[in-house]
């Protein structure tokens, strides 16, 4: 049998959803102390909005977990030489692991930019259109996606570490980082502490209002958008 850490990837992927759950709890409770951090002073999402978004979220989460169970469960059954991630002891130093995580992130930002830009082409946009019905973003909107779309957007976290020969722990680290930043970008909140983890949480909010800009910004870095001239700050 394979390495048990491949199976542990399944609960790790589920745990990466915890930022979405935390922000949704705030959206539901609507505390006054957080209202001042709403981008552009937008109101909290209504409970009706949260209910509708929650139904879509649960459907998409079921797809994510099914794909994760099938793919990593399948890898567990394979001989180790066929697993695309490094297993065994994690023998990297923290600085080298940090540099590798940055490199994975930069590669995946390019990958995500291409997928996201393609989703805005006229032929593919009907698949992506439901996501852009949401203008004042909220955490659950991270997964207001077409089922086919989520399958595409799951590719960067799974494939990005492979060219670097990354350990499965690095796959975990990137998944945790990417989901946290993706949730922050959609949360509808802007707080100085959040900017320690991302460039500016308002950048993806700007994308929902100006869809031809910021295809990658608000996911992690803004470098790819700046290179292609699609970066715009929120007015």
Contacts 24+ apart (CB under 8 A), 31-40: 34/189, 37/189, 37/190, 37/191, 38/188, 38/189, 38/190, 39/136, 39/137, 39/188, 39/189, 39/190, 39/201, 39/202, 39/205, 39/234, 40/136, 40/205, 40/234
Contact 143, 150 (CB under 8 A): yes
pLDDT (0 to 100) of residue 221: 76
pTM for this predicted structure = 0.89
Q: What is the mean pLDDT of each run of 10 residues along the chain (235 residues)?
A: 90 96 97 93 94 95 96 94 92 94 92 92 90 90 89 89 96 92 88 68 85 79 88 82
pLDDT (0 to 100) of residue 47: 95
**Angle between helix 202-209 and helix 168-186 axes, rounded to 10 deg:** 60
With 0-12 / 13-18 / 19 or more C-beta atoms within 10 angstroms meaning exposed / middle / buried, residue 153 is: buried
pLDDT (0 to 100) of residue 190: 87
d(CA 23, CA 134): 16
pLDDT (0 to 100) of residue 148: 87
pLDDT (0 to 100) of residue 87: 93
CA distances from 199 to 70, 161, 219 (A): 34, 22, 9
pLDDT (0 to 100) of residue 160: 92
């Amino acid at each position: 049998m394979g390495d048990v850490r491949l199976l542990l990837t399944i609960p790790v992927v589920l745990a990466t959803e915890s930022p979405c759950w935390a922000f949704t709890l705030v959206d539901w409770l609507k505390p006054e102390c957080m209202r001042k951090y709403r981008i552009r002073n937008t109101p909290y999402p209504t409970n009706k909005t949260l209910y509708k978004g929650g139904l879509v979220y649960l459907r998409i989460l079921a797809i994510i977990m099914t794909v994760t169970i099938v793919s990593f469960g399948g890898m567990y059954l394979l001989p180790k030489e066929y697993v695309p991630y490094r297993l065994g002891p994690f023998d990297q130093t923290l600085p080298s692991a940090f540099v590798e995580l940055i490199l994975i992130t930069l590669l995946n930002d390019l990958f995500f930019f291409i997928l996201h830009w393609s989703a805005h082409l006229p032929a593919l946009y009907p698949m992506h259109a439901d996501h852009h019905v949401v203008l004042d973003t909220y955490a659950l909107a991270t997964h207001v996606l077409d089922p086919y779309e989520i399958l595409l957007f799951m590719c960067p976290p799974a494939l990005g570490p492979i060219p670097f020969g990354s350990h499965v722990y690095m796959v975990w680290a990137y998944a945790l980082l990417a989901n946290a930043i993706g949730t922050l970008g959609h949360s509808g909140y802007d707080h100085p502490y959040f900017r320690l983890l991302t460039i500016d949480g308002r950048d993806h909010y700007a994308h929902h209002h100006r869809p031809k800009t910021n295809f990658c910004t608000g996911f992690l870095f803004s470098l790819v958008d700046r290179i292609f001239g699609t970066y715009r700050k929120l007015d």
